[in-house]
A and B are shown apart, each in its own frame.
Chain A
Amino acid sequence: MLKIALLLVSGMVCVALVLNLWRLIQGPDIADRILALDTMYINSIALIIIFGMYMGSPLYFEAALLIAMLGFVSTAALCKYLLRGDIIE
């Protein structure tokens, strides 16, 4: 039962990823694109955790942790770039 639910959810997350990419390519404004990238990161976290649950092994959760942290850092850096151009001042 859980497996079927996991399969469905992973399918939906994949659709979400595709839509994010679409927004990334399409988005008229740069802020739209950065948000799309950030959402892609979040979706990848979801995908990895679903994969871990599916496999029944906790190995990949650190990867999710890392994506969360590093995704935040990269989004912050991008926003700073938009704001000031010079990231480290």
Chain B
Amino acid sequence: MEPIMALAVGLLYAAAIYMMLRRSIVKLVIGLMLLSNAANLLIFASAGMTRGAPPLIPEGAMAPEGLVADPLPQALILTAIVIAFGVLAFAVVLIHRAYEVVKADDLDQMKETDT
């Protein structure tokens, strides 16, 4: 299972970075989305993958029994997902403003954006 996961993460990263390097503004946004997904998966996978044992304390017990998944990376990834959404929203609106100035979907023309 591990090599498959590593492969998937690597592929996602490659796709994300390729999109971010392109000339179009919209591709940059798509690349950002892929990048946030890829990063979340990376952290999630690195923490170790356990099947079927979510970090919940069973009814009536004081501590989880047996081996459960690691709750701390999950909390961090949750924060990351929400903040990535915020960043994405900001980036989209910002890119739209830049597009208004440059009037073309081309990052190469975006060398001077002082209005």
User: Within residues 43 to 58 of chain B, which ones have a CB less than 8 A from any CB in chain A?
Assistant: 52, 54, 56
Q: What total of A-B pairs shows CB separation below 8 Å?
A: 4
Interface residues of chain A: helix, strand, loop or mixed (majority): helix
Q: Which residue of A lies closest to B56 (CB)?
A: A59
Chain B interface residue count, Cβ-Cβ cutoff 8 angstroms: 3
A87 interfacial by beta-carbon distance below 8 Å: no
User: Within residues 5 to 56 of chain B, which ones have a CB less than 8 A from any CB in chain A?
Assistant: 52, 54, 56
Docked CA distance A56–B26 (Å): 44
Across the interface, which residues of B come within 8 angstroms of A57, CB to CB? 52
Across the interface, which residues of A come within 8 angstroms of B54, CB to CB? 59
A55 interfacial by beta-carbon distance below 8 Å: yes
Docked CA distance A59–B55 (Å): 12
Residues of B whose CB lies within 8 Å of any CB of A are: 52, 54, 56
